[in-house]
Structure 1
Amino acid sequence: MIRNLPTITLALAALLTLALPLPAYAQSRGDAPPTELAQSTPREAGSSAHFRVIERFPERDPAPPQIPAIAPSSPFAPIIEDVERESWASAHRKLQNPELRPLLNDDASLRFLAATVAMQAGHPAQALTILNDLDPARDLPILADYASLLKARAALALEDAHTATLAAATVDDKSLLYPDALTLLADALQMAGQPEDHARAVEVLELFLNAYPRHSQAAAAREQLATLLEESNPTRAAELYLNIRQERPLSPAATRATQRLRALDAHLTEARRRLLDDATPERALTLARARFDRHQSERVINDLSNALQQWPDAADERCEALYLVGRSHTKLRQHTAGTPVYDRILETCPDTDWELRALYLGGRGRWNAGDRQGALKLFERIWQEYADHSYADDAMYFAARILRSEDRPEEARARLRDQLQRYPEGDMAKDAHWLLLREYFDRGDFQAIIDHVDNLDKTGEDDLYTKGRLHYFRARALLQSGKKDEAAASFIRVAHDHPMSYYALLSFNQLARLQGSTEGLDICATVGPACEDHLPTNLQATPVELPDELERDTGFQKASQLLTLGLTSLAQRELTALRTRHASTPSTLWALASLLDAAHAYPISHDLARRHIHGWMDAYPTAETRRHWSIAYPTPFKDTLTRYAEQRDLNPAIIYAIMREESGFNPRIESWANARGLLQLIEPTARRIAQRDGLEDFSFDLLFDPTLNIRLGSAYMHELASQTASHPALIIAGYNGGFGNVSSWLDDFGHEDLDLFVENIPFGQTRDYTKRVLMSFWIYSYLYGDARVPALPFTLPSP
């Protein structure tokens, strides 16, 4: 029996486990100084002989503390690098060097690091030996909870229930590690084996599930708790097992739960026995929902098709089942097969949300299947019967596109105008305006374009794919009309109003064309002050300062010390919680992002700027904001990427732009389509490129290696460059949509200039991707390359 167990109290904490990126390299255009960050005490952070402090810039009095970093000359430098890369076996081998022992004995934080490495490398006995010599509260106060939890894990791995219990129970209920400590505590108490210990384990698991019902370990906790309660409280055990079957129906835990429920049959009510029947339509629907979320479309169609006849026509469950079958056909692009399913919903589920969804998806399905008239009828029902729904303006816009494709321009124009009159601020208004302008371009009616844009109070352009589009094409219409001075002024306005945007990039290129030259890497010099005033050379960044309230935050102090030790994934948990606590203060978020960037946590640092801090892209980079831009557009893996860029004759900016889009700099990411790594390569493409590049012994798992992924991804970009005359827009479009499609598009509308060509790309995903990545290509070129504005040829090569 475990004795002297501290009292457990309840505290809610937000947890997010984040992927660990690899180290980055220096940046080239203008040095971006680090955030001024908190420094741990010498006892906590390590001997000053082995750490260097990042230089403060600019100086301020009193000088704020900063996060220490390992000195390149320190014997711990290669170990920290291994830890950052999660190369635990390598780090563990290096830590066995006898020369390091005195240094480890001198520093509690380094001993904690050594214990972490030992545990991760599969040596729990060594980890526990190290931790037994530590008093976390005295020797490592900032990271006491981390040391205690690590000790509990090591002891549990060695089946030392007593030590594991005592260590886990000392984790404070305010710690982010508290939920993990509760599950470890329950495991240790159960391992102890005495009835009293089991009773305490039940208390701990109930506490955990009440506090964290959606935690990633909640299902395991329910199963563990149910096992403990089977004899003393079989009714509660059955409730927990049924919850697992309902919430995780496709998991192995659900299979085990079913087996245990059958063993508890004597304690089940008739209602609960019915829930065990996998042949019921209710169970079929539960399983289908889970399979639909996992994209097991064929199985959804098969299973629900057999169950449908068991429900009456008007039953909500039957409507949902039909919807899942229809959506599964849509996912599989089986639009003809999906049509009768949506029709059945319209027949049997009137005046429901299912009817509206069937009208929308059925209309799109018929359109994709070539039944344009059938699609028009369904879309018209939406704006007639559901005029106040957000689908209504979508339906009118889709109808206009169908009419336009059937060469019925007057009807299409009337539908678009009706849409804009009814829904002037609808989310499809910007697209309706553009479709009208596109028709005017086809007719050569440039004055109609100018008049239409001039008469607008609002364009509705609210995203990076459309901001500036209507005024850019107004400038194009002026140019086509021979009004060069007015066109130039309009292009300047677009570039001024929409900084670093896709349409600003096009506008600067148009201005260079008006000057008669787009030669050279940097067309900003050709454009003159209209560009140079916005994009100065050698822009030096000012530092991102650390707010006092953040510096005092315990979570920040923990993150700082973890980052010092290279334990970035643990630090990211603390930093994510900090982001939540300080979400309303942009200056604090920038300090967090800068800290993460300095710690090489690029997937998180750039995403923080990209998705959680707003407004900073509304102006061109300045000395005050240059650091913000470099955080949002970092340059990890620089040595490797630059080497392969030179070998492939590629601009590094285009590789970085594609990498940022594909993986967000996470080398371990894998998509639902099984694309892997930094540049998201699928296996057939990777194997073909590997063979062509002379890479022997290729395996799909190697795509998680950053160097190999950059090698093969850049080789694929080189292949695309050779097929597209190295045109940046075509390389980017080909990387997303495939060269076969790009070649076909060049055949169909490659006679158009670049701007109209991109707007004509029929795949919305590829069209948006091309705009987004071209914008990133420009930003990388400005921040780190030789071109403040890269040249884009408007005349496209022949396929």
Structure 2
Amino acid sequence: MGWRNKGTMVTIGGKVWLAVVAAASIGMSVPCSAGYTVGQAQATTPATAQSKPQSKKAPKTPPKSGTSSAGAGKASGSKTKGASGKARAGASGKTSGSKTTGKKGTASRKRHVVSRKPTAQTIRLTSAFKASELLRPMAQQLAATRSAAAYSGVEAYARQHPGEGAAAAYLALGHAAMLDHRYDDAVGSYRQANVSGTALDDYADCLGAQAAIQGGHGADAYGLLDRFAERHPESIFDASAPVLLANAHLQQNDPQGALKVLVPLVDSAQASHVDFRYALARAYQASGDTAHAASIYSRIYAGFPLSVEASQARTQLQAMNTPPTAAERKVHADQLFNAKRYAEAGEEYHSIERDGSGLSVADHDALLIYAAASDMRLKKISRREVEKLPDTKDDSAALKLYLLAELSRNENDQSAHDALIAQMVRDFPTSRWLEEALYSGGNMYLLKHDAQQATYHYALLVKLFPKSLYAPSAHWRAAWMNYRQHNYAEAARLMEEQIQMFGGGIEIPGALYWRGRIYEDEEKNFGQAANYYRALSGSYINSYYAGLARQRLNVLKTQTASVAPAAALSAVHVPVVPELTGELPENEPHLIKARLLANAALNEYIGPEIQASETSSEWGALAQAEIYASYGETTRAIQSMKHSGISFFSLPLDEVPTVYWKLLFPQPYWADLTASSRKNGLDPFLVASLIRQESEFNAGVVSHANAWGLMQLLPSVGKAAAKKQGIKHFDANMLLNPATNLQLGTLNLREVMDRFGGQAEYALAAYNAGDVPVRQWMEVGDYKDIAEFVESIPYSETREYVQAILRNREIYRALYAVQ
């Protein structure tokens, strides 16, 4: 079959846009998706480190304080297990920073947007915005609650504000009706929007067509979608409207009409999108050209395995008696596995094996082992079941050994685990499963504080798999283990190697800082230490370690002699200064439309509308966040800034307009936050930073671990704090009240701080991971300072949590200390 001996997995990720249209596709209809494609991928083998950046990121903390039973902010002193002891102990392997356009290593220039002169279009859009400005809070409430009162309020606004105000109101009503699956009502509202105004007529047409199709009246969509791009130039729906029109024809049993729409576009960019391909295949199938249809369905099934269309394509292939081949199904199952959809992947592996058509004995046996790997991820397989798996002679044999090694790890049988690793090294030295096993083994020993064994596993992984996505974190863990064992010469060598081999990785600030500390503390080369600290502060200026580096520079300032920078420093990435502006182009049509969309609560289209502007790279992040913040969506504003692609933590505060920083580090509920913080003797900026990390200021969030509100408190912790505060008849819903959550959360944080002598680093680690593991880490210590403790935290999530909060506290102080 050609799959068993492939040792490398390649995943090609599709383009994912910051704002993805959130509309459900029902039946054959396609939502107005602005032409963006999400999640295209291909695969040949399952679960390898070289293909899954997200895999084994941890060791994740035991349930985190704000979001889990183990956190000190929730249930202090409770027992926790680090990521179930799984392969989740090293640093994550992500790269720091994001790509941005701009100038390297130069101070940013003050950017001024060159605003267009008003045009007839922008004057019309601005007028529509002003006409509907008072609608925004009502429309947003309707989108959020869809209550009878909210519907009535927006309907009344439409009656009282004829023209563009009514048009925006009817769009809001149509959108809400769509969410409630009342498609006929939606069609009526969109029709009224078209009659009332023209500012958002492309939305009224496209969304109206979608509602008509989903309501089973595809013919009513023809007029709305015909010559769409000609009637609505520069609309974000120009690329997707033909697919919607084709689906309308297909719903009306008119495949020739669909082909007439789609075939002329087969060489366009839109033709590469899965929704276009699926509609085209359906059209060929319905017209009787099953060979052409089957070819397209097969490509969808293999090339877009995570899409809804892939499942639909398989159904159609079976209906035409041309089902996917075993090899195609195997590729599909591999990609499901890599996407962590283990149940679906396992079922597909089992299904291929059960069907058995054309399978050799070796193929059959390999599929059983792949299915077992899925069951292992779901914790649904026993040692006995793994041991009963067939013995093979190809790479699936390495997978079986990996599964046995993981079981031995879970059973705390280190001897058996190490013997299995040794067998894999001997028999399968290039297998991706050895790569997985070595990282998992290193993490296991890290959690057990066995530095020697952890170092062995991490170093061997880097040696055998230098291009692995695990390699940067494994290499850094090996360097750090040597540092902790006082093997300073080897640690220094590895840290320099880290900087040179894995530039841009998230481990680089730590490597720069600790190599500087070795120069300072062990080699007494204060000048070179200062070179490292300056390089760190210059390239990662807002990072946790940059702050520590500046502290060391202050200590060294009277001892430092100038020396030439070490060779490794030439590999340090110079930050890119983006071209950003604090001004917005007020006569930019897409910006005005985005604001108008917020008035109508068509929130999922705000991002795509802004991105449609050719100049949005300079102001789009600001515009999007400001729009979200304007109707109280603080959390979404933070998230849009985080995902903007701007490397904020590598840029000085004064090189990015202040308005960006204040949207990224906002001050909601500030009066209550400062009052509760000061009452409990806490730094308000530390509390704000903790809340930003825990809930992103979403006062109404309840986590999957049953942690509630701003400071993510478990109801049991909230109840205990409420009793101390004299609050009677406590109910968990009280934790969704910002003032109450802050009152109880700051009291709880104060108690955590007191249990750890007021040391913020210990307290934050306990808030995230629980008291018990933190005390264990403290006891195995002999840390020379608190920074060494933080870097030694074995749970990546907890370590990064502590560093992020302390880093962000300093940014809050820099922005608001005078205030």
Q: TM-score range by the shorter chain?
A: 0.5 to 0.7
State whether structure 2 residue 545 is matched by structure 1 residue 466. yes
Alignment of 1:531-610 (within 5 A): 544-547=582-585, 551=586, 553-578=588-613, 581-582=614-615, 586=618, 589-590=621-622, 593-598=625-630, 600=632, 602-603=634-635, 605-607=637-639, 609-610=641-642
Q: Which residue of 2 aligns with 1:634?
A: 666
TM-score computed with the length of structure 2 as normaliser? 0.62
Q: Which residue in 2 is equivalent to 1:154?
A: 211
The Cα offsets for residues 243-298 of structure 1, whole Å up to 9 and x where unpaired, read as: 66656879998777666655544788898899973446879989998998999443
Q: Note if 1:453 corresponds to 2:529.
A: yes
Structure 2 gaps, min length 5 = 1-29, 40-111, 332-350, 357-361, 563-579
1:769 equivalent in structure 2:
801
Deviation at 1:92, TM superposition (A): 0.8
The aligned residue for residue 222 of structure 2 is 165
Q: Secondary structure at the match of 2:582?
A: coil
Alignment of 1:304-315 (within 5 A): 305=386, 309=390, 311-313=392-394, 315=395
Residues 152-180 of structure 1 show CA distances to partners (whole Å, capped at 9, x for unaligned) of 13323443222123324454285323465
Q: What's the secondary structure of 2:806's corresponding residue?
A: helix
Q: How many residue pairs are counted as aligned between the two chains?
A: 653
- Separation (CA, whole Å) in 2 of partners of 1:274 and 1:459: 48
Partner of 1:518: none
1:229 aligns with 2:278: no
After TM superposition, the structure 1 = structure 2 runs for residues 48-63 of structure 1, keeping only pairs within 5 Å, are none
1:777–1:381 Cα change, 3 Å = closer
CA RMSD of aligned residues (A): 5.7
2:606 is paired with a residue whose SS is helix
Partner SS, residue 544 of structure 2:
coil
Q: Which runs of 5+ in 1 are unaligned?
A: 1-7, 18-33, 52-68, 71-75, 479-484, 491-541, 788-799
1:689 match: 718
Contact 1:234 1:267 in 2 (8 A): no
1:303 Cα offset (Å): 12
1:415 is the counterpart of 2:497: no
Deviations for 1:121-164, whole angstroms, at most 9, x for unmatched residues? 5544343334334547xx64442221112211332344322212
* One-letter amino acid of the counterpart of residue 204, structure 2: A
Q: State how 1:82-481 maps to structure 2 within 5 Å.
A: 82-83=141-142, 85=144, 87=146, 89-97=148-156, 101-104=159-162, 107=165, 108-135=167-194, 140-169=197-226, 171-172=228-229, 175-178=235-238, 181-194=241-254, 196=256, 211=270, 213=272, 222=278, 225=281, 229=285, 232-236=288-292, 238-239=294-295, 246=302, 261-265=317-321, 277-279=352-354, 296-299=377-380, 305=386, 309=390, 311-313=392-394, 315=395, 339=418, 342-351=421-430, 359-368=438-447, 374-379=453-458, 381=460, 398-399=477-478, 401-402=480-481, 409=486, 412-419=487-494, 425-427=500-502, 431=510, 448=524, 450=526, 453-454=529-530, 463=540, 464-470=543-549, 472-473=551-552, 475=554
The 1-side partners of 2:546 and 2:366 are apart by 43
What SS does the aligned partner of 2:288 have? coil
Q: Which amino acid is 1:350 matched to?
A: P
Q: 1:226 to 1:166 in 2, by over 3 A?
A: same
* CA deviation string 1:370-402 (max 9, x = no partner): 765555555555676678989888666544554
Distance verdict in 2 for CA 1:49–1:646, change over 3 Å: farther
* Distance in structure 2 (CA, Å) of the matches to 1:231 and 1:191: 13
- How far apart are the structure 2 equivalents of 1:288 and 1:554? 57
- Asked if the contact 1:179–1:212 (Cα under 8 Å) also holds between the matched residues in 2, the reply is no
Distance 1:727 1:166 in 2: 68
Q: Distance in 2 between matches of 1:396 and 1:118?
A: 54
Mapped contact 1:44–1:140 kept (Cα < 8 A): no
CA distance in 1, matches of 2:249, 2:317: 24
Q: 1:371 to 1:123 in 2, by over 3 A?
A: closer
Q: SS state of the match for residue 154, structure 1?
A: helix
How far is 1:103 from its partner?
1.6
Q: Is the 8 A contact 1:187 1:201 kept in 2?
A: no
| Aligned residues of 1:128 and 1:154 also touching (Cα < 8 A) | yes
Q: Cα deviation per residue 1:627-675 (whole Å; 9 max; x = unaligned)? A: 232122123455776787688776553443123223445678787x657
Q: Distance in 1 between matches of 2:529 and 2:681?
A: 42
Equivalent of 2:744, from 691, 696, 715? 715
CA shift, 1:571, in A, is: 1.4
Q: Distance in 2 between matches of 1:115 and 1:421?
A: 60
Instruction: Check conservation: 2:544, 2:806, Cα contact below 8 A.
Output: no
Which structure has the higher relative contact order (CA within 8 Å, separation 6+)? 2
- Percent identity of the aligned residues? 19
Q: Which moved more, 1:294-303 or 1:166-175?
A: 294-303
- Post-superposition Cα deviations, 1:550-596, rounded to whole Å, max 9, x if no partner, equal x5544223213213444333212212444xx446x546654555455
SS in 1 for 2:352: coil
**Post-superposition CA distance 1:710-736 (Å, at most 9, x none):** 754763443131232376545533332
In the alignment, what sits opposite 1:612? 645
Residue-by-residue CA offset, 1:276-327 (whole Å, 9 max, x unaligned): 73446879989998998999443589899589747533x4x66577668868
Cα distance in 1 between the residues matched to 2:238 and 2:368: 33
In structure 2, what is the equivalent of residue 780 of structure 1?
812
Task: Determine the C-alpha separation between the residues in 1 that align with 2:581 and 2:462.
Answer: 53
SS in 2 for 1:277: helix
Query: Does the 8 Å CA contact 1:82/1:90 hold for their aligned counterparts?
Result: no
Residue-by-residue CA offset, 1:342-365 (whole Å, 9 max, x unaligned): 444423333566655655554444
Q: Which string of whole-angstrom CA distances, capped at 9 and with x for unpartnered residues, describes residues 748-776 of structure 1?
A: 66998755654554544323322321232
Distance (Å, rounded) in 2 between the aligned partners of 1:288 and 1:600: 51
Deviation of 1:80 after TM superposition, in Å, equals 3.7
Cα deviation, residue 465, structure 1: 2.9
CA distance in 2, matches of 1:729, 1:338: 34
Residues 351 and 560 (structure 1), Cα distance of their counterparts in 2 relative to 1, 3 Å cut: same
